[in-house]
Structure formats: structure tokens, C-alpha cells
């Protein structure tokens, strides 16, 4: 029988009533003749609560135990979803990651899926099971320890299952009815897109649009998974939501397709480092080894052989970045006057494959921010995106102004 993957995010399984509603959606697809793999998140707020408990117990926690704790939210919803389906006379059972098994790397808290052997679940489908309810976000390491895939990781579980089982489609059910031109919580003028290209979705996700985890988009692109985002709160047709697809399938030709933001950025400046060959390697090598996700970088003009180096990284990694720099200073590989961390910044980005062929996007972006009196602290560009770092207090204003400037309220 054809296989369908359906993923329900935290708000879609937030309580027993919501789980029943999601189960009804699953029932509709089962009735159409699909064998269904349901991927569930923890109930909304649960993972945050578990992370909080870990941090309170042990600030510099053992990541293996962090994973043991934070993966547990999904176990509860998987069992409850299986029970709900059984109550509807649909043969279903739950699977934790290790039971499938979802084999991952040992990078605790940000593990990558390496393989999902389909044999165990396929054997149960052959015996008459119609729905496999899998706990998202979790897997098992080569050492046999429970791992998690990073926040938002159930999206990645879903796409990885769709690839492993050659599913006809991977439907991501969430609390919005698709991918919008920007976060609808920030701008009431945000418009739902019927289709979005993989490359654009990848940039939007990595620049902060939480609607899909970045890695899930990467996997969908690589394994050609038909990926759809839709709402679990409304009745849905087969055409509902947003289809994430190849560039050729998207007919629109706007320079900008969406505006993303990330609140959790910090701007770090190393004051007065030696301006010499190898200085960037001496700074960013240790940062990379410490697992810091450096995004934007600027090196100022040198004066008297000294310069300042600025980079951005997630706010939660500031302490680790400071430690890595102090260690490099102590060991003598770099020398700097001091390290200034500005954690009151946010990153706002415009994304669009149309930028490749249309000029003037950067100019429009800078003029728009300037008209609003917003100072740009750092700029980074790639072929299909322009990002700026600004004071966090202007973040929403910047998103709305850019949404207006690129006339995204006319998108569809
Ligand atoms: P789930 O719990 O279902 O995984 P998430 O909270 O992870 O849901 O993702 C959905 C949220 O992503 C939406 O509620 C919305 O606020 C946010 N979001 C950010 N950017 C966008 C965007 N461009 N389009 C749609 N939603 C977005
Ligand atoms: N429950 C996990 C989180 O909140 C994974 C997910 O929902 O995708 O990050
Ligand atoms: Mg999510």
C-alpha cells in the first residue's frame, strides 16, 4: 500500500482533544488506503519545560542525560496518539526512536539521522498495522544512547521517514496553514504562499523562520520528498497549505519571496587583534571547535597593525564563545584587548531566488531601513539573501517595513 507521512507539531497535539482531532485526520488518510506513519512532537510547551528542568539541575549538563530527559515529551504523545487511533478501531502502535531504530550520530542535542532501516515497521504493516506512530525528535546513537535532533527536530524525523519509506508525500501539520511571506505573528499583512522553492525555504528556515527545521528542508531537497505544510486546525483538501518544491515549479518571479528574522542573535567584537595573515583562522578555528555557529563576520580596516573583528552567533552560545576566545588568548594563539558581546540585536533577512537575476534589492532594503531610522550594524549577503543585524527593539518594525517595501502583501 502507498505510504503517507503525517507530522503533528506541538500545538496540534497540545491536549487530548487536539490529539483526537489529529487522529481523525489520520483516519481520513487511512480510509483512502494509505499506510500512515505519524510523527508526533511533544505537547506544546513540554520540551521547554524539560529543557528548563535540565538547566536548573545542571547548568553545564551532560548532553547524554539532557537527551534522555528532553526526548521524553514525544514518548507520551506517541503512546496517546496510538491509543486514540485504537479507540477509533484503527490498528496502530507507537514506536520510540530506538525501536524503529532511528540511527543517528552521537552528537547529543543536535544529532543527525544516518539511517532508518524500514524492516521493522514494514513487517508490522504487512501484519495489518495501518498506522505507525513514531516519537519525533529522537533517535539512538551507535553507543546505544538516546539522542535528540535539535529544537524543531520532529520536522526532520518526518522528512527522513518519508525518504526511507518512499512516501507519496510528507505533510507537516502545524498551527499556521502554510508558509507565509513572513511570520504571520509579526505582520498581519503576511500572505500564504501556495508554493515555495526548496532553496528559498532552506534560507528562510536557517535565518529563523521556525515553521520548518532547516535540516528537514535539506533532506527533502536531497531525497526529492514531496513536502507540504498545512494547518491541523482546519479541514483540509489535497491542495491545501504550501508545497515546498523545485524552483522550476514556482512560477512567481518576485525578487524577494519572504522576510525572516531571528531574535536570538548576538554581536561579538574582538577589540584590537593583530592584523596578520592567519588571524581569522586563529579566531574562527577555536570557535568552530567549540561548536559555535558563527554566521556574519566583519573585519574592520586596520590601523597600526591592529584591527577589530566582529561576528554574530546565537545568544545562547555567547558564554561558550567567550570561553573559547579566552582559552585561545591564554594559549597565546590570539591576542586581543577585550571581547564585547552585544546581545540586544536581531537579524532580519530578505530571501528570494529572484535576487539572482534582479538587481537593486540591497539598495531597496537599506533605503527602507534608513527611512525608518534603523541603524544597520552588520550586513551579510549570499546569492539569494541579504541579512542585516539591527537593534532588537526595531526588529518588528524592520520586518513590517521590508514586507511593505517588497510588496509582499501582493504575493500568493
Ligand atoms: P510546530 O509546533 O507545529 O512545529 P512551530 O512553532 O515550530 O510549530 O512552527 C510554526 C510557527 O512558525 C508559526 O506559528 C509561526 O509563528 C512561525 N513562523 C515563522 N516564520 C513563518 C513563516 N514564514 N510562515 C509561517 N510560519 C512562520
Ligand atoms: N519537541 C521538540 C521541540 O520542541 C521537537 C519538535 O517539536 O519538533 O523542539
Ligand atoms: Mg516546529
Q: pLDDT tens digits, residue range 127-145?
A: 999 999 999 999 999 999 9
Q: What is the arithmetic mean of pLDDT over 199-225? A: 96
Report CA torsion sign: 36, 159, 206, 358. Answer: negative
User: Does residue 236 carry a pLDDT above 80?
Assistant: no
Contact call for residues 195 and 242 (beta carbons, < 8 A): yes
What is the reported pLDDT for 86?
Answer: 98
User: Does residue 59 carry a pLDDT above 90?
Assistant: no
Determine the number of helices (DSSP H) and then strands (DSSP E) in the chain: 12, 18
Only one residue has cell 567549540, namely 290
List the residue whose alpha carbon is closest to atom 8 of ligand 2.
Answer: 152
What is the reported pLDDT for 316?
Answer: 86
The pTM score is: 0.92
- Residues 6 and 239: their CA atoms lie apart, in Å, by 15
What is the reported pLDDT for 218?
Answer: 97
User: Does residue 2 carry a pLDDT above 80?
Assistant: yes
Q: Answer yes or no: is the C-beta of 276 below 6 A from any ligand 1 atom.
A: no
What is the reported pLDDT for 271?
Answer: 96
347 bridge partner residues: 262, 389
User: Does residue 412 carry a pLDDT above 80?
Assistant: no
Q: What is the arithmetic mean of pLDDT over 380-397? A: 95
Q: Answer yes or no: is the C-beta of 152 below 6 A from any ligand 2 atom.
A: yes
User: Does residue 248 carry a pLDDT above 90?
Assistant: no
Only one residue has cell 544512547, namely 145
Contact call for residues 377 and 389 (beta carbons, < 8 A): yes
273 bridge partner residues: 307
Ligand 2 centroid to Cα of residue 229, in Å, is: 16
Amino acid at each position: 500500500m502507498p505510504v503517507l507521512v503525517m507530522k503533528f507539531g506541538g500545538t496540534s497535539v497540545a491536549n487530548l482533544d487536539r490529539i483526537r482531532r489529529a487522529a481523525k485526520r489520520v483516519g481520513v488518510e487511512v480510509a483512502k488506503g494509505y499506510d500512515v506513519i505519524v510523527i508526533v512532537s511533544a505537547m506544546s510547551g513540554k520540551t521547554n519545560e524539560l529543557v528548563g528542568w535540565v538547566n536548573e539541575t545542571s547548568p553545564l549538563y551532560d548532553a547524554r542525560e539532557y537527551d534522555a530527559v528532553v526526548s521524553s515529551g514525544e514518548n507520551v504523545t506517541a503512546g496517546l496518539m496510538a491509543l486514540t487511533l485504537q479507540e477509533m478501531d484503527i490498528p496502530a502502535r507507537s514506536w520510540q526512536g530506538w525501536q524503529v531504530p532511528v540511527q543517528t550520530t552521537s552528537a547529543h542535542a543536535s544529532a543527525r539521522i544516518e539511517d532508518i532501516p524500514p524492516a521493522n515497521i514494514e513487517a508490522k504493516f504487512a501484519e495489518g498495522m495501518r498506522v505507525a506512530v513514531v516519537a519525533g525528535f529522537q533517535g539512538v546513537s551507535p553507543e546505544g544512547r538516546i539522542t535528540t535532533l535539535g529544537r524543531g527536530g520532529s520536522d526532520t524525523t518526518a522528512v527522513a521517514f518519508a525518504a526511507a519509506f518512499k512516501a507519496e508525500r510528507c505533510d507537516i501539520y502545524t498551527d499556521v496553514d502554510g508558509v507565509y511571506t513572513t511570520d504571520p505573528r509579526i505582520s498581519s499583512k503576511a500572505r500564504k504562499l501556495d508554493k515555495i522553492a526548496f532553496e528559498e525555504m532552506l534560507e528562510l528556515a536557517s535565518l529563523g523562520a521556525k515553521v520548518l527545521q532547516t535540516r528537514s528542508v535539506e533532506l527533502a531537497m536531497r531525497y526529492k520528498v514531496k513536502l507540504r505544510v498545512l494547518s491541523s486546525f482546519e479541514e483540509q483538501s489535497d491542495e491545501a497549505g504550501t508545497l515546498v518544491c523545485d524552483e522550476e515549479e514556482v512560477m512567481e518571479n518576485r525578487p524577494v519571496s519572504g522576510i525572516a528574522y531571528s531574535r536570538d542573535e548576538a554581536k561579538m567584537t574582538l577589540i584590537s587583534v593583530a592584523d596578520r595573515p592567519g588571524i581569522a583562522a586563529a579566531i574562527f578555528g577555536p570557535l568552530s571547535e567549540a561548536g559555535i555557529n558563527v554566521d556574519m563576520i566583519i573585519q574592520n580596516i586596520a590601523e597600526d597593525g591592529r584591527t577589530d573583528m566582529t561576528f554574530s552567533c546565537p545568544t545562547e552560545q555567547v558564554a561558550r564563545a567567550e570561553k573559547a576566545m579566552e582559552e585561545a588568548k591564554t594559549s597565546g594563539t590570539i591576542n586581543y584587548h577585550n571581547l564585547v558581546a552585544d546581545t540586544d540585536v536581531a537579524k532580519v533577512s530578505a530571501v528570494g531566488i529572484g535576487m539572482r537575476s534582479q538587481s537593486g534589492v540591497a539598495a531597496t532594503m537599506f533605503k527602507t531601513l534608513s527611512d525608518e531610522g534603523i541603524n544597520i550594524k552588520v550586513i551579510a549577503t549570499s546569492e539569494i539573501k541579504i541579512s542585516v543585524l539591527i537593534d532588537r527593539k526595531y526588529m518588528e518594525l524592520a520586518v513590517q517595513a521590508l514586507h511593505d517595501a517588497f510588496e509582499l502583501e501582493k504575493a500568493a
